[in-house]
Amino acid sequence: MHSQSPSSPPSSLPIASARQLSSQLSTQLTCESSAPFGLYIHVPFCATRCGYCDFNTYTPREAGGANPEGYLDALDVELDLAAQRVNRRADTVFIGGGTPSLLGADGLSRILTTVRNTFGLADGAEVTTESNPESTSPEFFAGLREAGYTRISLGMQSASHEVLQVLERAHTPGRAFAAAREARQAGFEHVNLDMIYATPTETDDDVARTLDRVIEADVDHVSAYSLIVEDGTAMARKVRRGEIPSPQEDVMATRYEMIAQRLAEAGLEWYEVSNWARPGGECQHNLIYWRDGDWWGAGPGAHSHLGMQRFSNVKHPNRYSAVLADGELPISQVEDLTPADRHTELLMLGLRLREGIDYSAVGAGAAGVVQNFVDRGLLHFPQPGCLALTDAGRLLADGIITDILVAEDDTTADREARS
**Taking the CB of residue 243, how many other CB atoms lie within 10 A of it?**
10
Tens digit of each residue's pLDDT (9 = 90 or more) over 283-326: 999 999 999 999 999 999 999 999 999 999 999 999 999 999 99
* Confidence (pLDDT) at 9: 32
Contact 77, 111 (CB under 8 A): no
The answer to whether the beta carbons of residues 55 and 110 sit under 8 Å apart is no
As a whole number of angstroms, the distance between CA 270 and CA 383 comes to 18
Whole-angstrom Cα distance, residue 367 to residue 321? 50
What pLDDT tens digit does each residue of the chain (419 aa) get? 333 333 333 334 455 577 778 888 875 555 556 789 999 999 999 988 888 878 899 988 888 999 999 999 999 999 999 999 998 999 999 999 999 999 999 999 999 999 999 999 999 999 999 999 999 999 999 999 999 999 999 999 999 999 999 888 888 889 999 999 999 999 999 999 999 999 998 999 999 999 999 999 999 999 999 988 888 888 889 989 999 888 889 999 999 999 999 999 999 999 999 999 999 999 999 999 999 999 999 999 999 999 999 999 999 999 999 999 999 999 999 999 999 999 999 999 999 999 999 999 999 999 999 999 999 999 999 999 999 999 999 999 999 999 999 999 765 544 444 44
Sheet bearing 386-389, strands edge to edge = 357-358, 386-389, 379-383
**What is the per-residue pLDDT for 31?**
52
Cα separation of the two ends of the chain: 41
Distance separating alpha carbons of residues 388 and 380, to the nearest angstrom: 6
178 and 140 Cβ atoms separated by less than 8 Å: no
CA 82 from chain centre, in angstroms, equals: 21
DSSP for 340-370 reads: HHHHHHHHHHHTTBTT-EEGGGS-GGGHHHH
C-alpha–C-alpha distance, residues 150 and 399, integer Å: 36
How many other C-beta atoms can be found within 10 angstroms of the C-beta atom of residue 23? 11
Identify the DSSP state of 298. E
H-assigned helices in 243-377: 249-265, 284-290, 317-325, 339-350, 367-375
16-21 own/partner pairs: CB under 8 Å, 24+ apart: 18/314, 18/323, 18/326, 18/328, 18/329, 18/330, 18/331, 18/332, 19/328, 21/311, 21/331, 21/332, 21/333, 21/334
